[in-house]
Structure 1
């Protein structure tokens, strides 16, 4: 049944999309004028702004910019008398004589541009470095590429420094105290989630990241996933004519020595641009965490030392080719890998709660003697854009994720006097093969005074997950069929959207959109026991409509007020749907939930901006709120599992402010205060109505010092807050200090950074429920000293090519 509905949905969507695109491309005849720009030395002038104006009213009909060879193209939707105006930062403004356009025309002679030394000097005087934090429209932007303290680490660590973002101890990503974040890479879907997404972000060096954009509400062109908001990680790409190469290498030390290297290049000749990069990070990472659990008159204390020996490597190769002034094709291939062993050592003491007497001790070890997580992704794309406001894009992506681990887990119980009580050893073999694909197209055109953007997308995930648990006795091993299974998961999402932007008046603008998504998924649990029960199917088949609305009132050029509304969804991850029970140690388990439903969020936001100040208030309601809970199992064991618990109410007030304290000393501040209320139920007679106020604060300062040294001081603070269900997270903080000195006409730079100086970046928490008391703590190797050196070879950096306004910014991280 689902296949027929999905086929009908796709057929109608493609038909409407094709009909709309065809009709609008075939609309009234346009007339094109082409030419070239040169300076007095007959060198091509690029990046100049050209406007085609109609006579006699001088109304602008189309705009364009000159390309690298100085060529340009302008279009008019009708015949008539026109003239061209040309402006540039480096040259005086030029205005052509009037001419009559009644056919496509190529100008025989180039326009000659005269340099404007005065204007160029004024521009250079006013030029300044981008602030670390910027507010643009409904986005808060963290310019990672300008940060000294962000060098020499990975993207997951950089996210921890991003305003409003909290990376929890399980590496889940929260935004302003809420889970369910849509993570984009260059506006596109990684199609990874959970541990797979974490491995990818850990393999992505921070030097590859240009900026991180935070959006509370997304438009209809984005995927509907992400009830907490959207994080778009924009990667840097070398810019310049000819051949350019950037090299960065560094060392860091916390508890052990680490080394990182990144190499990127681009070669741009005429219409062809080839680019690529390579990176690696070698060294060990240490984590310390633990839990104190009180249950049934017993106290369990479990400190753990976790050492991660894994290495990360990654690379990219790609090319763009300009077919003509309006069309570009491109292809990109990425590889990211995390591989190597790891080991955790846990010592659990079991005591009588009343007397404190030692009853037993459990020594457990997880020896991950083999671990790997590799992601391969290929993309081909096509872009079309003309000067009449029409744009078309098409993207095809295919990816493969290969992950797995082998773990030997001995568990040994000792009596109070230290004598051996019992022992058992398990070997777990985990294998994950995930295949990903996506096809997406968008078309943009002008209608009346507004702009229409429509698009289609079809994405799919196929995941094969095998878990085998073996009981080891001496030299013999046998499969524990009760703790082994094969879980296969398939998901298909077909989506269509339409969006309209129109000025209602000189100051008031409206943006309205509607997105339709049809989801079909099938999870199949296959027991491995011979002659066991039949495979268990977990099916989902549903369609959702997601409206998005935004009103923007421009009070004056530097003052604006906006109101937005959006509906979003978080679908269950495939791991959370697997009803299998995983052994963490002999006293704790993790189990999936096949009855987990998507959670739906409604959010409204009011934003005010004035000069360098942005203030926003947001309120949201989440139905079918889902979170992981820790519950009792038998007398002395606990089980962790995800559940739909009820409703969550969330209100927040945020402010972003830029200060210029004095010349060469700038400060960026971002603060959010929020209130969370969880109206939830764990089961019969176990209802909770929990609420809490919390806040996050992020301060970044940059300052000039003697000897041409640039300094950076950053601080972040997260107050105590309400966690996933009934967990109270304790406060955490981090203070970083960095210095940078450039050499060789700014081609080389040396950066020295001290991170988490006071070692405040911890993940401590507590929870209480029906006789179960949990107190957890933990920290990573966040206090480090880092030294990085970078050098840029090749020609001087030039302006990057004009960004094409396509609608493909709608991807995310879930499977």
Structure 2
């Protein structure tokens, strides 16, 4: 720990010695710069100076045609096809305005060498001219970026429904998450880990309104700066942040109705005056959902029992209420130094009431025994995260040093009640009643320091250090009711105490010398774990590489490689038992080991809009949810385990903003993949493999009278996933959107899953027997969303989102 802090201090010292290196200027003989010098107000000064720079977007690609001008004058120029510009200005000029349609305008101080990143202006996405210019999907070799506000079907509802509608993303009601058919996905919110998994993650995403989302990055090749976790990649959800002088206030109300109704209301504000900038949001979510699950199992015949079948039909209604807030304050101490803090929290109450009807029968008996089950669960969860940070911009070329300290407190208290009544064709009936009282807390602390050091327009060096400390204390007390009294069940009651410390260092270098771009990074992570009486320490190295050959017309050939680690999330490690009924238990596995993945991707990209990729991944000790029949019983135990290996290879294609006509544009995502899983069972090597196909289509349509519309859908074929196969599913959704009252308001009407076809079906083999399941939830909905924008002031310089705890995998 001390070594990490010392290295972090060294990095900061290196960053402050910013006089290192000469800045390479653009070759003005190879570019044509346009200077605007018509008659009008022009600063009066005999002395002038020449400034040069480059305008890029969030992905690092040059922006052609951006305007660079002196405010309230006619002095200016535009960037060329390489994003470069050169401009002579009076020596006393204090600020420049940088603008491009579809992007937020920035006001910056002029310097001799400048590198400026423009960010999409999602606060004005409903203006006709912006929609015509800015695509809602951008594709690069390392990631795909989606702007939800530009789509009627993803600008309404919650973050959960937005992810449900994204091609290549599968998220289920139990929190299981897949990206391009692969599990092991890491979710960040504003660059920070969401800290949640399982149903906790689902509840959090449901409370986060879609109107608060700025963009979603599907990152398939994270740089060394990111934590090495994420076998399938990273989903980074960025929320809106205003930076306008004066005030901004957005009020949003959203209601959707399927079988049950759900409402999400929130108010977001922004205020900037002089050196202070504040942003915040408060939201309240209330709604109900359901899970309708059918299960069919067969148990192989034994010497004493015939082939037996088990049919179960369960229905669970879930009621959720949550308060959510965030607050961020930035203080611009100097034009180059920013101090800030953020606080984010939520308080959630979840109630689940369910009934289960289970039947055992054989080939010769239609009904051997019947079980009627009742479950009632009540859970309260609180989540509070905070961050303090400092960011210092060394020069306008992009040199920057930053540091942050972060904390998390998470608590959960849950009561579970379960009752089974068994009726037999012969013999007396029986009743089993049990309850579980669970409570626990998680405390996390994190600190990091990062250095970004462009040496010139061609060379860049990054480095950083990070340390996380996690403390978990959970308790579960299970009781059985006997003769009217509650008796502790020592077989299920348990405590879970867990300590984890991860220390990390990373370095990376990037070279851009046409036609080549090369980026090489190395991240080192040291992990120290204490779980009960067991402790372990290990250190791993995670290299990553990106090579890109730039072709004409901003096309490129790319090769990427990275090594990733997925440590078990805390829910999977927790030994607590969740009782569905007397014949279905789910439990964590304290013996889980991390899984490691090596991944290669070769891709061809065209103008940030099209990408064709070949990929191969090899995962050892793959963490997969597995199923067992407990010896001597017919009880199925669901538990995560480490499989021997998982190999996957295939081809993937993406196309964004294909203009079929002037009023019709479409985006497409496809993937064809082969997956191969291997594991040991009873001394034998078993395998599950097969090809899978995914396709997603999004059609954006310009309608009369200022309306815009969308029809989107996806299809996922059968997909191997450990012991089981996930069977095909598909969906069609749509919506319309319009700006009202001189663009002060936005109305969206949307409908998801028109044919109620997006449900989860699986089948597999469990200890020689077969199982199939079919699960529906309340996803077929019709909804409406209305947002009113209050604004007074002008856009000013944007401040980068601060990266905080890229930490762990929490669920109680």
**Short-chain TM bin:** 0.7 to 0.9
Aligned residue pairs total 737
Q: Which residue of structure 1 lines up, in the alignment, with residue 650 of structure 2?
A: 652
- Could you tell me how far apart the structure 2 residues matched to 1:786 and 1:200 are? 20
- The 1:152–1:458 alpha-carbon spacing in structure 2 relative to 1, beyond 3 Å, is same
- Structure 1 Cα separation of the partners of residues 746 and 720 of structure 2: 42
* 1:200-238 per-position Cα deviation (integer Å, ceiling 9, x unaligned): 222212221122111212111110001111111111123
Q: CA deviation at 1:553?
A: 0.8
Of 702, 715, 728, the residue aligned with 1:717 is 715
Q: Is 2:318–2:353's contact at 8 Å kept on the other side of the alignment?
A: yes
What is the alpha-carbon distance in structure 2 between the residues aligned to residue 580 and residue 248 of structure 1?
Answer: 40
1:95 to 64, 70, 88: 88
Question: Which stretch shifts more, 239-248 or 442-451?
Answer: 442-451
SS at match of 2:568: coil
Q: Deviations over 1:753-807 (max 9, x none)?
A: 11110011010111024431111011110111101111111237x5463454977
Distance 1:357 1:116 in 2: 71
Aligned to 1:79: none
Aligned to 1:677: 676
- Helix, strand or coil: the match of 1:159? helix
Contact 1:226/1:570 (<8 A) preserved: yes
SS of equivalent to 1:255: coil
Which TM-score applies when normalising by structure 2?
A: 0.85
Tell me: CA distance 1:506–1:264, structure 2 relative to 1, closer, same or farther (3 Å). same
Equivalent in the alignment of 1:259: 263
**Residue 500 of structure 1 corresponds to which residue in structure 2?**
509
SS at match of 1:336: strand
Match in the other structure for 1:772: 769
Q: What is the deviation of 1:409?
A: 0.8
* Alpha-carbon separation, structure 2, partners of 1:116 and 1:564: 31
Alpha-carbon distance in 2 for matches of 1:125, 1:180 = 39
TM-superposed CA distance for 1:475, in Å, is 4.2
Name the CA distance, whole Å, in 1 between partners of 2:726 and 2:473. 35
CA deviation map 1:349-396 (0-9, x unaligned): 1111x224201111111111x211221111111111122532001111
Deviation string, structure 1 residues 42-88 (Cα, Å, up to 9, x no partner): 99xxxxx98359xxxxxxxxxxx9999979xxxxxxxxxxxxx9546
Shift of 1:15: 3.3
SS at match of 1:470: strand
Aligned-pair distance for 1:743? Answer: 1.1
Question: Does the aligned pair in 2 maintain the 1:293–1:773 contact within 8 Å?
Answer: yes
Give yes or no for the alignment of 1:552 onto 2:570.
no
Q: Which residue of 1 aligns with 2:318?
A: 308
Structure 2 residue corresponding to 1:416, chosen from 405, 422, 425: 425
> Residue 704 of structure 1: CA displacement?
1.6
Q: Does 1:641 align with 2:639?
A: yes
Query: Any residues of structure 2 matched to 1:432-443 within 5 Å, and which?
Result: 432-443=440-451
Q: Work out the CA distance in 1 between the residues paired with 2:622 and 2:243.
A: 45
1:248 deviation in Å? 1.1
Distance 1:778 1:388 in 2: 53
Report what 1:328 is aligned to. 338
Does the CA contact (< 8 Å) of 1:200 and 1:337 recur in 2? no
Instruction: Say which SS state the counterpart of residue 219 (structure 1) adopts.
Output: coil
1:284 to 288, 295, 299: 288
1:130 matched residue in structure 2:
134
- Aligned-pair CA distance for 1:130: 2.8
1:445 aligned counterpart, secondary structure: strand
Q: State the partner residue of 1:512.
A: 520
SS in 1 for 2:13: helix
Per-residue CA distance 1:130-185 (angstroms, 9 max, x = gap): 33322134211221111211244221222122221111353211111111112111
Pairing 1:36-115 to 2, within 5 Å after superposition: 51-52=51-52, 87=77, 95-96=88-89
Q: For residue 571 of structure 1, what is the aligned residue in structure 2?
A: 567
The alpha carbon displacement at 1:623 in A equals: 0.8
Deviates more, 1:767-776 or 1:669-678: 767-776
Distance verdict in 2 for CA 1:27–1:573, change over 3 Å? closer
Question: Would you say the 8 A contact 1:404–1:430 is kept in 2?
Answer: yes
612, 629, 634: which one aligns with 1:632: 629
Shift of 1:575: 3.2
Could you tell me how far apart the structure 2 residues matched to 1:110 and 1:556 are?
Answer: 38
Q: Which residue in 1 is equivalent to 2:459?
A: 450
Cα drift, residue 748 of structure 1 = 1.2
Q: Distance in 1 between matches of 2:805 and 2:509?
A: 16
SS for the counterpart of 1:483 is coil
Q: Is the 8 A contact 2:626 2:640 kept in 1?
A: yes
Cα displacement (A) at 1:447 = 4.1
Q: 3-state DSSP class of the match of 1:299?
A: strand
Distance 1:443-1:141 versus aligned 2 partners, 3 A rule: same
Q: Report what 1:668 is aligned to.
A: 667
State whether structure 2 residue 737 is matched by structure 1 residue 744: no
Q: 1:407 to 1:770 in 2, by over 3 A?
A: closer
Q: Which residue of 2 aligns with 1:166?
A: 170
Question: Is the 1:442–1:807 contact (alpha carbons within 8 Å) kept by the matching residues of 2?
Answer: no
CA contact (8 A) 1:310 1:339 kept: yes
Aligned pairs (5 A) from 1:348-497: 348-352=358-362, 354-368=363-377, 370-385=378-393, 386-416=395-425, 421-447=429-455, 449-473=458-482, 475-497=484-506
Question: Which has the higher mean CA deviation after the structures are superposed, 752-761 or 633-642?
Answer: 633-642
Q: 1:547 to 1:808 in 2, by over 3 A?
A: farther
Q: Structure 1: how far apart are the matches of 2:361 and 2:537? A: 49
Find the partner of 2:752 among 751, 755, 763: 755
Question: Which residue in 2 is equivalent to 1:18?
Answer: 9
Q: 1:290 to 1:126 in 2, by over 3 A?
A: closer
- Distance 1:285-1:20 versus aligned 2 partners, 3 A rule: closer
**Alpha-carbon distance in 1 for matches of 2:409, 2:352:** 24
> What's the offset of the Cα at 1:338?
2.1
- After superposition, give the CA deviation of every residue in 1:375-421 in whole Å (9 maximum; x if it has no partner): 1111111111122532001111111111121121111111238x961
Structure 2 gap segments, 5+ residues each:
24-38, 44-48, 54-65, 80-84, 106-126, 301-306
Question: 1:69-109: per-residue Cα shift (whole Å, max 9, x none)?
Answer: 979xxxxxxxxxxxxx95469xx985147xxxxxxxxx557
- Separation in structure 1 between the aligned mates of residue 167 and residue 459 of structure 2, nearest angstrom: 34
Shift of residue 254 of structure 1? 0.7
Contact 2:670–2:695 (Cα < 8 Å) also in 1 = yes
- Aligned pair 1:196/2:192, yes or no? no
Unaligned runs of 5+ in 1: 1-6, 33-38, 44-48, 54-64, 72-84, 98-106, 525-536
Q: 1:482 aligns to what SS in structure 2? A: coil
Alignment correspondent of 2:112: none
Q: Aligned pair 1:787/2:777, yes or no?
A: no
8 Å CA contact retained: 1:350, 1:359:
yes
TM-score by length of 1: 0.85
CA shift in 2, pair 1:305/1:68, >3 Å: farther
Give distance in 1, aligned partners of 2:681 and 2:413: 33
Q: What SS does the corresponding residue of 2:643 show, helix, strand or coil?
A: strand
In 2, distance between residues paired with 1:618 and 1:305? 40
Residue equivalent to 1:533: none
CA contact (8 A) 2:375 2:418 kept: yes
- Taking only aligned residues, the RMSD between alpha carbons, in angstroms, comes to 3.2
Partner-residue secondary structure (3-state), 1:196: helix
Q: Does 1:589 align with 2:585?
A: yes
Deviation at 1:513, TM superposition (A): 0.6
